[in-house]
Structure 1
Amino acid sequence: MFTRITTIALASAGLLFGAHQASAFSVAANGGKDTQGISATQNLAPMISSEFGYQHSDYHDSDANLYSAGLMVHPWWTPIADVSAGLRYQYQDTDYGGGGGVGLVVAGFTKTPIPLVSVGAEGSYTPDGLTHGNLSSSWGASAQARVTLMARTYGYVGYRVQKSKFSGEGNHEIFSGPMVGVSVGF
């Protein structure tokens, strides 16, 4: 009896985990004046996802390429908002210098009274001491309004800022301005 219940429970958990993984991949593309990017997110386990991204900018005629990879945790106990936090490694290849670092990322989105619309923000900070190359520190922030277009697919508009400090070059704004994008989940 115990073996049968254990087998059924394990099989059910495996099916739920497999179903969760089957629809847990998304690709997003965004663009704005002087910047465009692409990113992908994959759920690794319940409440844990990985992310990979690339952003190009020629803001103020300065060429910059940002490559990132991160690991995020999404707690299930936040009924009001979809909250996540984690670590992100970002490498910056810019006219001011090149280097990378590991930083903290926090994001939160909540539904609005308008059906299918949510709003939220993301912030990241990479401190001096967790960087290499010419990068001394960096921070980024964004705010977005999302509209669900269909299951696991949404469009968004927002504003994004990325600033970095480079050894011997000081502080520089890598990009800043409005952005539009779309995210498609599979």
Structure 2
Amino acid sequence: MRLTNVIISSSLLVTAMITMTACSIGGTPQAADVKPVEQVVTLPTPSAVPPPTVAKTQRLVQIFSGPSDQPMTQDAHDVVLRATTSEKIGTFLTDGNGMTLYMFTKDTNKKPTCLNDCANTWRPLLIASPGKIYPDGLDPQAVGYVERPEGTCQVTVNGQPVYYFSGDKAPGDINGQGVKGTWFAVTPTGGPAQGK
């Protein structure tokens, strides 16, 4: 009887050891009813870019703190000024359609001097009232407008009136750069871009 008890006890011990070995991973016993813990990771939500606010107002023209947060087209009432970089001339301004904007070195004291026939070749960038100007990559405090003799309002950067060149046909063209030594792509600070 004693031998029978020893054999049964030994059998139970061997069975228990086999069961433990079968449930182990890497030699460590695991309980059959334990499930791996799922770790939940909370990712930070991307911060939304705040919409531009009105940085300053000049009569009925609002100049915003940055680019529009809505798709828009450049027109007489909504003007975009965007800083753009070129290997040839460095940083200069374009409008919302990518057309280069220029300055005339003969303009002084916030007074445009390119009038009549000159304005056919060098068309002023105008803003209608009421209007909105969205600067992208330049200080909104530097943006404004000046009244032209015919009563329209021309956009300025640091008091410098800005123009288009009739010789530019596509976005990114800089064909007016350095013309007659007096016309230059305008920089975000209202100065002349360098290079040709």
TM-score, length basis structure 2: 0.24
Report which of the two structures shows the higher radius of gyration computed on alpha carbons. Answer: 2
Structure (1 or 2) with the greater strand fraction: 1
Structure with greater contact order relative to length (CA < 8 Å, sep ≥ 6): 2
TM-score, length basis structure 1: 0.25
